Chain A
Amino acid sequence: MLEMNAQSRVIAPAELGNSLRQAGGDPLDRRSRLKFFNSTFKIVCVSAAVFVCLVLFGILILMFRTGVMTFETVSFKEFFFSTNWDPENGHFGALLFIFGTFALTALTLVLAVPIAVLIAVFLAEITPVWLRGTLRPIMDLLVGIPSVVYGYLGLTILIPMLRELTGRDLADGLLAAAIVLAIMVLPTIARISDDAISAVPKKYRDASYALGSTRFQTIFRVVLPAARSGIVYAVILGMARAIGETMAVVMVIGNTPQLADSLFTPTAVLTSNIVMQITSVEFDSTWNYALYLMGFLLLAISLLLIVAVRLLQKKGAKAS
């Protein structure tokens, strides 16, 4: 029985090859059909990959070409190093938006990542199985809540709350936006980190316990470092969502073109400014080009951040 099986395993592939090699003549025979399907399938797959690359480069080139026309009237220095955004009077200083986007994303991650990782540890390591089975689908549902809902809740619940807590007259600003975004990206980061932590082999934990570590030591010295690349990936995804988020931000940031010198100064970021102004500008105006350039910057910033995080991750992996 066993031998027969072994024999057939040897013969089968050879036979398959033979049938392919021997057939011929009839254009609709098995061999040419197979060849046709194989090559067609390959072409379809390759063209799908090429298509997505073309779309990405098309967007990049369109944004860049339109955006770069800004510099026909606005100096490079003014756009990147001035905080005076007053397009009605010909001032196009975008530094405040660029700064706002960086500050907002950083603040969001500072708020969200520690909590998200703790949630993930709780989900993967501490929760009893029955509770884990209920919590995970709930987290998945949270990921799917549209951002405008978060924005609206921020506007109607969070901002009045912040106003009362701080005693300020207007609580719109970076902190409000960062809290809304943090809540929004929490489930994303937590769920992917959770998967990464769950994927750490059990033998690592066993070995750690066998060496006499406590549960805390095992989680923070063994499991989390082992799951680091997955957690970094989760952070990248969360960051990408935070950086490009528009609707939730525009409702709580205050939409005022001034540099955010405090957490509660009404300000604006790249996304919120684009969505507020793009419908109000003339098609062939410097203002319109400047908004395109800001869109391009947004793209460039998120690409750069992703690359930076990947590099950091590699460096960290080598060091340990």
Chain B
Amino acid sequence: MKKWFKPAALIALAVSLTAGGASVASAASSLKGKIVINGSSALLPLTLQAKSEFQKLNPKVKISASAVSSIAGPQSVRKGIADIGAVDWDASVDVPGFKKFDGQVANPVAVTVFAAVVNKNVGVSNLTTKQLQDIFSGKVTNWKDVGGSDANIVVVNRKFGSGTRVNFQMKALGGQDFMTKGDNYKETGSSGDMKTAIETTPNAIGYIDLPYVTDKMKALSINGAAPTEKNVLNGTYKVWGIGYFMTKGQPTGATKAFIEYIQSAKFQNGSLKKLKFIPLAAVK
């Protein structure tokens, strides 16, 4: 009896002390709760950045963020396994290929710019819409046909359900279907997988949003316009979309505070811009 009493008492004391300490430290914010975020991997850099900043301000809010593809976002919200579903299109209305999600509210968070990207070894730096259509439908299979060197084109696509894929198909390929077969064609799960594939595969072409573009790959100009904030704002670069956080009904509590934090001018013009997203206010 006495043997276990002493350590138990010590543990109880330690717990009460740390609990007391923690409550003193977080006196600044009384916001409590748990936010689970799933969905778009294109928006993941933004979610993670906002998460770390928000948790510094509100230490009692627990946020767990993961990402596969856009469609998983609103579906997780519908199934009740996530509070926020990040998605690259407005999932509260019907879009081509995807039905609307009833009862969900779309909270806009950022403007995402999508770029066609190629491996560092590809000599081409600009493609027209027609050339992109030909490459992604499998009609053109050699880089020399679009102004590059004599090498086969490796097409890397995102899987069905990716918001980057939806945006790229609608806005860069004019709604044209992708190829589905071939020895030089593969599909990847998330934006992170796409990044790895493009970086490590010579002669590869794919598409990704700007926050993922590294110096190991090259973002292409489309019809002469480079994928930059300036070109999006002056209307010459068309491949961009608004990213949304879907919630079941209007957001409440910690979820509401988190979304408001991301929509705040401070975050939009600070961290969000640094990540190469574009503030919502800029395009309206």
Footprint of B on A, CB under 8 Å?
A: 86-88, 155-156, 159-160, 163, 168-170, 172, 250-251, 254-258, 262, 264-266, 276-277, 279-283
Which of these, A87, A159, A169, A251, contacts B152 with CB under 8 Å?
A169
Q: Cβ of B72 and Cβ of A280 under 8 Å apart? A: yes
B68 and A279 form a contact (CB under 8 A): yes
Across the interface, do A155 and B196 meet the contact criterion of CB distance under 8 Å? yes
Q: Check B189–A256 contact: CB distance below 8 A.
A: no
Residue pair A256, B71 in contact (C-beta under 8 Å) = no
Q: B183 interface residue, CB < 8 Å from A?
A: yes
- Docked-complex contact B184 and A170, CB < 8 angstroms: yes
Rounded to whole Å, the gap between the CB of A145 and the closest CB of chain B is 20
| Minimum C-beta distance from A51 to chain B (A) | 26
**Chain B residues with CB under 8 A of A276:** 159, 187, 189
A277 with B184, Cβ < 8 A, contacts A88-B97, A155-B196, A160-B200 known: no
B2 on the A face (CB < 8 A): no
Pick from A159, A169, A281: contact of B200, CB under 8 Å = A159
Are B203 and A169 in contact, CB atoms less than 8 angstroms apart? yes
Asked whether B160 lies within 8 Å of A280 as measured between CB atoms, the reply is yes
Are A283 and B79 within 8 A (Cβ)?
yes
The distance from the CB of A28 to the nearest CB of chain B, in whole angstroms, is 23
A281 to B97: give the CA distance in the assembly, Å.
12
Within the complex, the shortest CB–CB distance from A152 to chain B, in Å, comes to: 9
Would you list 11 pairs from A and B whose C-beta atoms are within 8 A, ordered by A residue?
A169-B152, A169-B184, A170-B183, A170-B184, A255-B186, A255-B187, A258-B180, A276-B187, A279-B75, A280-B161, A282-B75
Contact code string B110-124 (vs A, CB < 8 Å = 1, else 0): 000000000000000
> Contact: B186 with A172, CB < 8 Å?
yes
Give every chain B residue within 8 A of A262 (Cβ-Cβ).
183
Contact residues on B (Cβ < 8 Å of other chain), bracket:
20 to 34
Q: A88-B97, A159-B200, A255-B159 are in contact. Are A280 and B69 (CB under 8 A)?
A: yes
Q: Given known contacts A88-B97, A169-B152, A254-B186, is B201 in contact with A279 (CB within 8 Å)?
A: no
Q: In the complex, are the beta carbons of A256 and B185 less than 8 A apart?
A: yes
> Which residues, 156 to 197 on B, are CB-close (under 8 Å) to A?
159-161, 180-189, 193, 196
Chain A neighbourhood of B79, CB < 8 A: 283
Q: A258's closest neighbor in chain B, by CB? A: B181
Task: Please give the distance in Å from B184's CB to the nearest CB on chain A.
Answer: 5
List, in ascending order, chain A residues with CB within 8 A of B246's CB. none
Q: A155-B200, A169-B203, A257-B180 are in contact. Are A279 and B161 (CB under 8 A)?
A: yes
Selected contact of B189 from candidates A87, A88, A255, CB within 8 Å: A255
Top 7 nearest A-B pairs (CB, nearest first) are A280-B161, A279-B72, A254-B186, A266-B186, A255-B187, A258-B181, A169-B152
Residue from the list B151, B185, B200 in contact with A266, Cβ < 8 A:
B185
Which one of B78, B151, B200, B203 lies within 8 Å of A156 (CB-CB)? Answer: B200
What does the 1/0 interface line of B244-277 toward A look like (CB < 8 Å)? Answer: 0000000000000000000000000000000000
B109 on the A face (CB < 8 A): no
State the CA gap A169–B187 with chains docked (Å).
15
Q: Given A254-B186, A256-B180, A277 and B160 touching (CB < 8 A)?
A: yes
Cβ-based interface call for B86 (8 A):
no
> A159, A170, A266: which has the most chain B beta carbons within 10 Å?
A170
CA–CA, A87 to B187, complex, Å?
Answer: 15
The CA-CA distance from A172 to B196 in the complex, in Å, is: 13
Is the CB of B37 closer than 8 A to any CB of chain A? no
What is the chain A residue whose CB lies nearest that of B197?
A: A155
Asked if B42 is an interface residue, CB under 8 A from chain A, the answer is: no
In the complex, B210 has a CB within 8 A of chain A: no
Q: Are A279 and B71 in contact (CB under 8 A)?
A: yes
Docked CA distance A9–B160 (Å): 75
Determine the distance from Cα of A265 to Cα of B182 in the docked complex, in whole angstroms: 8
Report whether A170 and B180 are in contact in the complex, using a CB–CB cutoff of 8 Å: no
Given A169-B203, A280-B160, check contact A266 B72 (CB 8 Å). no
CB nearest neighbor in A for B183 = A265
| Complex: A160 Cα to B68 Cα, angstroms | 25
A250/B97 contact (C-beta < 8 A), A159-B200, A169-B184 known: no
Residue B61 CB within 8 A of the other chain: no
Residue B154 lies at the interface, judged by CB distance under 8 Å to chain A? yes
Residue from the set A86, A88, A264 with the largest chain B CB neighbour count within 10 Å? A88
CB distance from A221 to the nearest CB of B (A): 45
